[in-house]
């Protein structure tokens, strides 16, 4: 197996693991709770607790002035782990390829992570804005 195949397979395997963990442990439970699909367990309290807020959704709604009711939470349930999995995997992969010290890797990783989060969520937010405009007309 040559180096290119090795790098592609390792990137895909890390991406798959990050996606599955993010989907099943972070995004799916929060969105299911938001949609009311999650069964409540434990003691019943007199007041209803507000559903968990997802940071990515809050960022997109506030930055692009999206309507929460118009968002398709079932597509968000898939897209958020896809985007976050790509960001985490890409930064990890690039940092591992750089032959520098740990401090420089951390600095480069932080800068790359911040830039990717901003760029990818900017593109996705504009996409959601266009979808909302098409639905509104």
- Contact, 68 vs 61, CB < 8 A? yes
The whole-number pLDDT of residue 71 equals 85
The whole-number pLDDT of residue 51 equals 66
Residue 119 has pLDDT above 80, yes or no: yes
pLDDT in tens, 47-76: 666 767 788 888 989 999 888 888 888 888
What's the predicted TM-score (pTM) here? 0.77
Q: How confident is the model at residue 8 (pLDDT cuts 50, 70, 90)?
A: confident
pLDDT in tens, 19-51: 888 888 878 887 777 777 765 565 555 566 676
Range 84-110 average pLDDT: 90
- Contact, 91 vs 83, CB < 8 A? no
What are the CB-based long-range contacts (under 8 Å, 24+) for 15-19?
15/85, 15/86, 15/89, 18/84, 18/85, 18/88, 18/89, 19/81, 19/82, 19/85
| C-alpha span between 78 and 27 (Å, rounded) | 8
């Amino acid at each position: 197996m040559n180096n290119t195949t090795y790098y592609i397979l390792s990137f895909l395997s890390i991406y798959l693991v990050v996606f599955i963990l993010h989907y099943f442990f972070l995004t799916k439970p929060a969105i299911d709770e938001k949609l009311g699909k999650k069964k409540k367990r434990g003691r019943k309290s007199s007041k209803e607790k507000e559903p968990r807020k997802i940071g990515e959704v809050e960022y997109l709604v506030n930055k692009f002035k999206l309507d929460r009711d118009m968002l398709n939470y079932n597509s968000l349930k898939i897209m958020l782990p896809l985007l976050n999995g790509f960001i985490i995997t890409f930064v990890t992969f690039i940092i591992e390829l750089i032959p520098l010290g740990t401090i420089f890797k951390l600095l480069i990783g932080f800068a790359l992570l911040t830039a990717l989060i901003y760029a990818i969520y900017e593109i996705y937010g504009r996409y959601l804005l266009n979808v909302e405009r098409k639905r509104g007309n």
